[in-house]
Structure 1
Amino acid sequence: MTGTLRVLILDDDFRVGQLHQGIVDDHPGYTALTPVRSIAEARDSIRSSSPDLLLADVFLPDGDGIGLVRDAGVDAILISAADDAATVRRALRSGAVGYLVKPFERRALTGLLDRFARYRNLVSGDRPLRQEDVDRALAILHGAGEPVSLSRSATEQLVFAALGDGEASAAEVGERVGISRATAQRHLAALAARDVVEVRLRYGATGRPEHRYAARA
């Protein structure tokens, strides 16, 4: 995964849309597109902007957010005051990667954004996936197997996830996450100090070594 993840927010209440837009824009590795307030506007924005993630309400003036998610072909998190089991099951059958019941704490959405970024990093590109890659991606998406990351900041989680199964420089990690090289370097150094990340040296044509980072097994 390279660059930032672009998020389209769909909610008929413009104040809620602006609130969610602020949470997304404040989150490392993400940028929010202009929020929309109807199914029709959402379809137009999906066609023109190709977002990576859709945050959609369920009940909208001109249709059903779950139906939109089913048809749009975009990863989506559904957000709704509907807490009945039938609606939740229907949302998950539509292909939604998450469901948040309104009202919710800010950290509930930021936690989902963290996990989604790590999930997308693991399943990005065209490389073949091993079964353990699929299992790990699903576990991350659903919040399982998190003991190591609980002690890290949100940015550190994204930096660590950006390494994937290979190695990368601080500049490459910064580009993948959407942060500066210096910020990526700082977080990578902290991970290396805790022995979570391994530091390797690669010598180029100039003779100066380049620091490369890889997640420890």
Structure 2
Amino acid sequence: MTEPLRVLILDDDFRVGQLHRAIVDDHSGFTVVDTVRSCVEARDSLRSSRPDLLVADVFLPDGDGIAFARDSGVDTILISAADDAQTVRRALRSGAVGYLIKPFETRALTGLLDRYVRSRNLLAGDRVLGQEDIDRALAILHGAGEPVSLSRSATEQLVLAALGDGEASAAEIGERIGISRATAQRHLAALAGRAVVEVRLRYGTTGRPEHRYAART
């Protein structure tokens, strides 16, 4: 099972920081390693907790969240009440993977976390990337869905490559290649209908069978 991504939360308002922590901790793909309230505390935590993702406010008592994100070397979601174009442009220039304006609904952060992990999974490892891989990762991150240029056969090839010699669920395949579970399920079902993959049932503790897929040899 893939280890959850480690998240550091930086917000000078304790209550807001705890709210963001609860949202992130509720997501199965992430775990919060620390919640801090200043740049000084965040720098110490970066060294000790080594997070994969930083969720940071822009206006902090001892510094600028955008500059901190740029210098941290860590993927960052910036959250701020600032809605002026200049601040948003500066945040994007810093390399932020997302920007949310306060106040926002829980699903806004949850959705951004979903897209981030799917995009990150698509770019994981040391393999050589094609332009399709890069376009897909960027489209997912920015909520554009799958690039229209990606054909069904190309997606099926990605699904088969993700299966490899093992077996996996539709959700696992979706995470590996950066598509939704429903999309992965649709392509796996089509492949199963053509006898390219086989479907196996695995029963868990709830008694409800999980569909597992494996490439036919």
| Aligned alpha-carbon RMSD (Å) | 3.3
Which stretches in structure 1 are left out of the alignment for 5+ residues? 148-162, 178-186, 203-210
Q: 2 CA distance for matches of 1:11 and 1:188?
A: 33
Q: Structure 2: which 5+ runs fail to align?
A: 148-158, 200-211
Cα distance in structure 2, aligned partners of 1:128 and 1:146: 20
Structure-1 separation of matches of 2:126 and 2:162: 15
Counterpart residue number, 1:169: 167
Kindly report which structure 2 residues correspond to 1:22-33, keeping only aligned pairs within 5 A, or say none.
Answer: 22-33=22-33
Pairing 1:7-156 to 2, within 5 Å after superposition: 7-145=7-145
Q: Write the letter of the residue equivalent to 1:22.
A: A
- Displacement after TM superposition at 1:28 (Å): 1.8
Kindly indicate whether the alpha-carbon contact (under 8 Å) linking 2:136 and 2:146 is maintained by their aligned counterparts in 1: no
Report the CA distance between 1:201 and its aligned residue.
4.9
TM-aligned CA distance change 1:120 to 1:132, over 3 Å = same
State the alpha-carbon separation in 2 of the partners of residues 17 and 112 from structure 1: 17
Query: Highest relative contact order (Cα 8 Å, sep 6+), 1 or 2?
Result: 1
**Map of 2:204 onto structure 1:** none
Gap change, CA 1:117 and 1:165, over 3 Å in 2: farther
1:44-89 deviations in Å (ceiling 9; x for gaps): 1111111111000001011000011110100000000011111111
- Could you say what secondary structure the match of 2:127 adopts? coil
Tell whether the 8 Å contact from 1:122 to 1:164 is kept in structure 2 after alignment.
no
Aligned position for 1:157: none
Q: Deviations over 1:13-60 (max 9, x none)?
A: 111111000000101211112200000111111111111110000010
CA distance in structure 2 between the aligned counterparts of 1:98 and 1:188, rounded to whole angstroms: 22
* Secondary structure of 1:34 counterpart: strand
- The answer as to whether partners of 2:76 and 2:97 remain within 8 angstroms in 1 is yes
* Aligned residue-pair number: 183
Query: How far apart are 1:190 and its partner, in Å?
Result: 10
Partner Cα distance (2:213, 2:188) in 1: 14
TM-score, length of structure 2 as denominator length: 0.74
Deviation at 1:145, TM superposition (A): 2.3
Q: 1:133 to 1:74 in 2, by over 3 A?
A: same
Shift >6 Å, 4+ stretches: 187-190
Change (3 A) 1:74 1:213: farther
**What percent identity do the matched residue pairs reach?**
67
> 2-side partners of 1:90 and 1:34: how far apart?
26
Cα 1:17/1:188, change in 2 over 3 Å: closer
Change (3 A) 1:165 1:119: farther
Partner of 2:2: helix, strand, or coil?
coil
The whole-number CA distance in structure 1 between the counterparts of 2:18 and 2:35 is: 7
1:101 alignment partner AA: I
How far the C-alpha of 1:97 sits from its partner, in A, is: 0.6
